[in-house]
Structure 1
Amino acid sequence: MTGRLELHVLGGCQIADAGEALAELTLNKARALLVYLAVTNRQHSRSHLIDLLWTDLPESDARRNLRVVLTKLRQAIGPRLETTRTHVALAADALHRVDVTAFVAAESLLLTAAEPWTDSTVNTIAVAFALYQGDFLAGLEVPHAPGFEEWMLLERERYRQLAFQYGERLAHHYEGVNEEHNAIDLCRRLLAIEPWQETIHRRLMTLLARTGQPTAALQQYEQCRRLLADELAVEPEGVTKALYERIRRDAVGESTQGVQQATVRLPAPPPGPLRSLISLPTTPFFGRAKELAQLADLLADPACRLLTLVGPGGIGKTRLAQEVAQQFAGEAALQPLSGGSRRFSDGIFFIAATSLPTFDELISVAATTLSIAFAGQDALETQLLNQLAARRILLVFDNFEHLVPVADRIQRWLQEVPGLTLLVTSRERLNLSAEWLFPVHGLPVPLPTDDEDALTHNDAVQLFVRRAQRVNLGFAWPIASTAERTALVAICRLLEGLPLALELAAAWTRTHSCVEILLEIRANLD
């Protein structure tokens, strides 16, 4: 075939050439290599590809396997695979379409488009969201390739988060133009991706009630309650219960007046807080109840205006910041039922600083996130602070460590915006006089002597188990095998409760037992 390649990797792994399935490419490592070259869209050294796909083999065996896979790939796609003695790449004109490329391309528009959105913006974001048909490379098994598994897991989570941002912002748009039916449909699609997203359950309940469907809203609560109980063994949050009671009372009040299908007139959602969280987490939150309570108390204290979560990479700083921000945003969505977040009455906003190399770029993204337009000759930072001067907001700056050398500019923000509170995650402290430090440590790990009940309530164990069940439906808890259970405890202890490390280790349960995973980790640490 001489046509261009098409790769559909959001929700599976389908590869076509000139519109026909590439049936001859049956070797999974060949498919994995093709996807990796296509998605990264650059050349890679042979040594890197060996580390990616054959970490556990001697170098001579790994190089021989790479040659075999490259031969299979060349037989399938011909000269569109370019190889040298040292590097491998796809020819520049080899790719007709990769769904991930089109999916990610809309992200810049999401971050920069001013509100209200134009029809063009809505269409672009809607098309990108529609491309997300499920997890990245769902169903592709690549055994004994922990490097590839790690890359796939991280990319999968990235795309899942981006899909949520697309869907959540689209729902926000449709609410703003009174197209509640579209917003309801989007909420349901978001819940199909991540059923335990309680913020989306609440939004859907509110929309259903506001559109004259209180019974459906109450049923949605029951669905949420059962799912949380079955999957996470937890109850809905207090704000969710309060919303349920409010809808139930209003529905009963209407029905006693002879209205068979009542319309519950809930207030429209506030313009800022919940809808302004641009990075909705896509996995359930485990443990850290004590830390959440401490953070909530600190953020409720007017004296604490710069709070830094400090800890090494992978320790869970981002997820902890997201969770506490969501809790405050959830309270704001139910005002005046709860006054807990009135300190941030003008919004709670999440800004990922990872991809922002300079403080000036942070200013630009902050303005976009806060829907602030620049005009005139004043410096952009001055304009931003002037427009924020009367607002009461919480700004979350995530992964700020590379901007620590210029962190002193934050002092000006705190001085000129008295209603501003900053929650920052960083691998190192900012060293500012206004800074309050909150060290973040790993999850509590189990003891070797813990019984089944103690393990069931251990945060590190349950994080591993839940992540394992996402990639391996046959991974059951409690674990019947004593050896497997002992290995799981050892994994949690060896990884010191580091959430990211636990997630990566759990991803291996698709192809490895816990005993095998433990041996792999020990070998890598030696």
Structure 2
Amino acid sequence: MCLDLLRGFEVSCAGTRIPLPAGAQHLLAFLALQGVGGAQRITVAEQLWPDCTSWRAAANLRSALCRSRLLGGTTAIDSVGQRLRLAPAVRVDLHTAGAAAQQIFAGLDPLPASCAALVDALSGELLPGWTEDWLLLERERWDQTRLHALEALAHQLHRAEQYLAALETALTAVSIDPIRETAHRIVIEVHLAEGNLASALRCYQQYRGLLQRELNVAPSPRMTSLVKDLMRT
């Protein structure tokens, strides 16, 4: 049983996609974000149906449970007393990507021959298009985790002189948050390490222009120091 939350919701069993109504989708996604401990039934009902009466929310939860507890012959949701949790047999792509991020933070030694699959996993947005309030904090948490992981990986690749992979990784982080300075600095550092001085200066000027247009601020002194000698020539 596989539950995909990155780039969109999908649940499948043995490679076959299982269609589910919105309530069942939200229930599975919510429990996947709660970790191994799950959550109390009343909490789940209140979070998923905040605009309903307690009676109506409880009824909606019972309906969603009927649709999602057993999928493709596999138990997807465990119920222990008043607690619900995602069954351990369900593989969640977000959890797999999060574990990969933790490995990066610990330092990959040795670095894999190709980091493309790793970068691809970290580039996935959590449930794009969903606007539920209970998802906002989790989405922000995931975005910060994947940004820091991509930047850490780019630094490791830079130190290993795998410059193309470092650039691709840093640019993936830039695409997630174009305003964030850290990834832009890595891009400039890689260009400088390769001797591509004009490319480094161009990247700095483009980022400076973006900040000026969007926020009316300048890059940090730390970033400017990377190219200050180039601007004097």
TM-score under structure 1 length normalisation: 0.40
Distance, in Å, in 1 between the alignment partners of 2:6 and 2:139 is 9
Residues 343-375 of structure 1 deviation map (CA, whole Å, 9 limit, x = unaligned): xxxxxxxxxxxxxxxxxxxxxxxxxxxxxxxxx
Q: Which residue of 1 aligns with 2:191?
A: 208
Q: Which residue of 1 aligns with 2:96?
A: 102
One-letter amino acid of the structure 1 residue matched with residue 96 of structure 2: A
Greater Cα offset, 222-231 or 70-79: 70-79
Which of these residues, 38, 44, 48, is aligned with residue 39 of structure 2?
A: 44
Which of these residues, 4, 7, 14, is aligned with residue 10 of structure 2?
A: 14
Tell whether the 8 Å contact from 1:10 to 1:100 is kept in structure 2 after alignment: yes
Give 3-state SS (helix, strand or coil) of 1:88's partner. Answer: strand
Q: Which residue of 1 aligns with 2:136?
A: 153
| Alpha-carbon shift at residue 34 of structure 1 (Å) | 0.7
Give 3-state SS (helix, strand or coil) of 2:112's partner. Answer: helix
* Aligned positions of 1:318-337 closer than 5 A: none
Distance, in Å, in 2 between the alignment partners of 1:70 and 1:173 is 44
One-letter amino acid of the structure 2 residue matched with residue 118 of structure 1: D
Structure 1: segments with no counterpart, 5+ residues: 143-148, 251-526
Q: Which residue of 1 aligns with 2:166?
A: 183
One-letter amino acid of the structure 2 residue matched with residue 57 of structure 1: C
Q: Which residue of 1 aligns with 2:59?
A: 64
Give 3-state SS (helix, strand or coil) of 1:57's partner. Answer: coil
Tell whether the 8 Å contact from 1:6 to 1:16 is kept in structure 2 after alignment: yes
Distance, in Å, in 2 between the alignment partners of 1:174 and 1:210 is 12
Give 3-state SS (helix, strand or coil) of 1:154's partner. Answer: helix
Q: Which residue of 2 aligns with 1:197?
A: 180
Identical amino acids, percent of aligned pairs: 28
* Aligned positions of 1:274-293 closer than 5 A: none
Give 3-state SS (helix, strand or coil) of 1:15's partner. Answer: strand
Tell whether the 8 Å contact from 2:119 to 2:169 is kept in structure 1 after alignment: no
| Alpha-carbon shift at residue 77 of structure 1 (Å) | 4.9
| Alpha-carbon shift at residue 211 of structure 1 (Å) | 1.7
Distance, in Å, in 1 between the alignment partners of 2:50 and 2:198 is 55
Paired residues, what number? 230
Q: Which residue of 1 aligns with 2:82?
A: 86
Q: Is residue 112 of structure 2 the alignment partner of residue 123 of structure 1?
A: yes
Tell whether the 8 Å contact from 1:129 to 1:166 is kept in structure 2 after alignment: no
Distance, in Å, in 1 between the alignment partners of 2:113 and 2:120 is 10
Distance, in Å, in 2 between the alignment partners of 1:199 and 1:43 is 35
Distance, in Å, in 2 between the alignment partners of 1:205 and 1:110 is 22
Distance, in Å, in 1 between the alignment partners of 2:206 and 2:214 is 12
Say which structure is richer in helix: 2
One-letter amino acid of the structure 2 residue matched with residue 123 of structure 1: P
Residues 60-103 of structure 1 deviation map (CA, whole Å, 9 limit, x = unaligned): 1111111222223247555614447734344443x1x2111112
Which one scores higher on RCO, CA 8 angstroms, separation ≥ 6?
2
Residues 89-120 of structure 1 deviation map (CA, whole Å, 9 limit, x = unaligned): 44443x1x21111122235544544xxx522x
Distance, in Å, in 1 between the alignment partners of 2:56 and 2:73 is 25
Give 3-state SS (helix, strand or coil) of 1:106's partner. Answer: helix
Tell whether the 8 Å contact from 1:129 to 1:163 is kept in structure 2 after alignment: no
Relative to 1, partners in 2 of residues 1:171 and 1:88: Cα closer, same or farther, differing over 3 Å? Answer: closer
Give 3-state SS (helix, strand or coil) of 1:123's partner. Answer: coil
Structure 2: segments with no counterpart, 5+ residues: none
Distance, in Å, in 2 between the alignment partners of 1:124 and 1:158 is 29
Give 3-state SS (helix, strand or coil) of 2:136's partner. Answer: helix
Relative to 1, partners in 2 of residues 1:244 and 1:210: Cα closer, same or farther, differing over 3 Å? Answer: same
Relative to 1, partners in 2 of residues 1:43 and 1:212: Cα closer, same or farther, differing over 3 Å? Answer: closer
Q: Is residue 221 of structure 2 the alignment partner of residue 238 of structure 1?
A: yes
Tell whether the 8 Å contact from 1:103 to 1:129 is kept in structure 2 after alignment: no
Tell whether the 8 Å contact from 2:123 to 2:146 is kept in structure 1 after alignment: no
Give the alignment's Cα RMSD to 1 decimal: 2.8
Tell whether the 8 Å contact from 2:105 to 2:152 is kept in structure 1 after alignment: no
* Aligned positions of 1:248-267 closer than 5 A: 248-250=231-233
